[in-house]
Amino acid sequence: MDQLIQIIALPLLSAIISAIVPQNRVIRKLIPALFWCQLFAIAFVCFPVLSGTTEKMILTPDFSADRLSALFLMLTAFVCACSLSHADSFFQKEQLISTTYKPYHERIFYACAALFYLAMIFVFICDNLGLLWVSTEATTLSSAALVYFSRTKHALEATWKYLIICSVGIAFALLGTVLIFASSQHGALANGSLNLHELMENANLLQYPLLKLGYIFCLVGYGTKAGIFPLHSWLPDAHSEAPAPASAMLSGSLLNCALFAIWRLSQLVACTNHETLACTLPLSLGAITALAASLFLVHQHGIKRLWAYSSVENVGIMLVAIALGSGPLFFLQALNHSISKVALFLLAGNVIQATGTKRLSDIKGVLSTSPAWGVLLAVAAFAVTGAPPFGAFVSEWLIMTRCADQGYWLVVAVLIVALALSFVAVCIHVCGILFGTPKQQTAAFRPFATSLVPALLVACAIAGGITTLPLYLVSLK
């Protein structure tokens, strides 16, 4: 229990401070500092698991952390710390240029961001399917306020779309959870159970028809939250209308939560004698999602919608890794995607504030007006498309290699087509952004402050590629 308190104390403190401190300048500095402290707190608490000293850290009977969940806790803390650090310069500029900005909106943003992060913590440490569902629903409710920050009609429409579609999806996940409970009640455990440890220990005794139906409903439900095709329609709107720091957190951490829930359920099904179910469905959905998203990337008109559909494509690739039963590949792809995508959304926020438009056709000549942004945008775009030598290239290569080893050649072919299409589409759009003559006057910015966090993320993307390159070389032998 003490370890659980250590994990959740700082996010709770951040939410309270954001709600009661009236000075926005103080909040902008203090909350990011607390989130960086949270990153170190997570590392300290999870060190025994991360170092391999212990396989699993029991926090309470229903909360625990294994190595994969500890890694995702670290990644989520890092993403949120980076996003909120950049929010300082973002809101300073927003306060000057936006006609809809209100100081209390910003305080609500920070408070809800802290609650959003707290809900994501519980997703990764839940050892109970019921609490996993509650935590996932809490991420929806707490992040909706982030999408509605600007209070415009488009933001309101995106927020309602996000809430309604994700709530319907989560309702499917609730039904699936009830069915999995029934499979234990009529199979292994007379009183039933939702505890993952108990369910896995008695997996072969669960009533398979109910388990199968429950898994399918949960896959559809949590898949809606993750943005799988064709249940992804909320994602481009929400990412486009949310302020840049919120878009970065939605893409870099929220999607990982929904996919992690699918991973937990897939591991449960894999413990039975019917592990094919946990492979076939996610594998098909992942390949279709990656291909569909790459096609949507070709004809995009908004810069943030462009990166939103890129996130959908990466969700498909991560779903394939989950289907293959490889936690390390799932995390490696999530890590590379999160780091690059957070940088891209933060840079997109800079560009939108400077040019006053989200339309790709109106954004030209960024490389000449702001060389720092242009270089960072180009590098991050290459990183997220899986170009060598970045880490996404290694993770995607290893995923396709694993597919080939298991005989899923059709999936390999679909992924190759999807990755090629997305690479070409992103390159064309990014070249249009970087080059050409600016169509409007670009607002003045502080280049160092607005480039610091994206530069840190791009450096991490490069370092990730260098450190994981040996994995690629080993796979060639």
Quote the pLDDT of residue 270. Answer: 85
Query: Residues 310-331: what's their mean pLDDT?
Result: 90
pLDDT band of 188, cuts 50, 70, 90:
low
Confidence of residue 365 (pLDDT cuts 50, 70, 90): confident
Categorize the per-residue pLDDT at 180 as very low, low, confident or very high, splitting at 50, 70 and 90.
Answer: confident
Specify the range with the lowest mean pLDDT, choosing from 41-45, 64-68, 103-107, 419-423: 103-107
Which amino acid does the sequence have at 427?
C
Q: Residue 465: which of 336, 356, 311, 287 has the closest Cα?
A: 336
Residues linked to residue 58 through DSSP beta bridges, in sequence order: 64
Residue 42 pLDDT > 80: yes
Rounded CA separation 239/10 (Å) = 26
Question: What does the DSSP assignment read for 80-132?
Answer: HHHHHHHHHHHHHHHHHH-SS--HHHHHHHHHHHHHHHHHHHHHHHB-BHHHH
Residue 259 has pLDDT above 90, yes or no: yes
DSSP state of 411: H
In the structure, what pLDDT confidence band is assigned to residue 477 with cuts at 50, 70 and 90? Answer: very low
For residues 306 and 422, give the distance between their C-alpha atoms in angstroms, rounded to a whole number: 10
What pLDDT does residue 469 have? Answer: 62
User: According to the model, what pLDDT value does residue 79 have?
Assistant: 92
Give me the half-sphere count of Cα atoms (radius 13 Å) on the Cβ side of residue 457: 37
Mean pLDDT of 201-214: 83
**Of 349 and 53, more confident:** 349
Measured CA angle at 360 (ends 444, 389), to 5 deg: 90
* Bridge partners (DSSP) listed for residue 66: 56
Instruction: Tokens 């991420």: give the residue.
Output: 139
Q: Give the residue-averaged pLDDT of 58-70.
A: 85
In this prediction, what percent of the chain has a pLDDT beyond 90?
22
Tell me the three state secondary structure of residue 153: helix
Q: Name which of 230, 234, 226 is nearest 253 in CA terms.
A: 226
Question: Considering only CA atoms, which of 163, 175, 108, 109 is closest in space to residue 137?
Answer: 163
Mean per-residue pLDDT for 305-319?
91
Residues 341, 76, 336: CA angle, nearest 5 degrees: 40
Which one, of 119, 354, 64, 390, lies nearest residue 250 by Cα? 119
**What percent of the chain stands above pLDDT 70?**
95
- The reported pLDDT for the residue numbered 292 is 92
Q: Could you tell me which residue, 52 or 91, shows the higher pLDDT?
A: 91
Averaged pLDDT of the chain: 85
What is the C-alpha to C-alpha distance for residues 72 and 257, in angstroms, rounded to an integer? 9
pLDDT at position 441? 62
Residue 222 has what pLDDT?
A: 92
Query: What's the pLDDT score for residue 470?
Result: 65
Distance between CA atoms of residues 279 and 450, nearest Å:
43
What's phi and psi for 58, nearest 5 deg? -85, 120
273-287: average pLDDT: 84
Task: Using alpha carbons, list the distances in angstroms from residue 346 to 104, 338, 340, 448.
Answer: 22, 12, 10, 14
- Tracing tokens 């190759």 back to the chain, one arrives at 416
Q: Is the pLDDT of residue 159 over 60?
A: yes
pLDDT digits (tens, 9 = 90+) for 17-38: 888 888 888 888 888 999 999 9
Burial 280-290 (b: 16+ CB within 10 A, else e): ebbbbbbbbbb
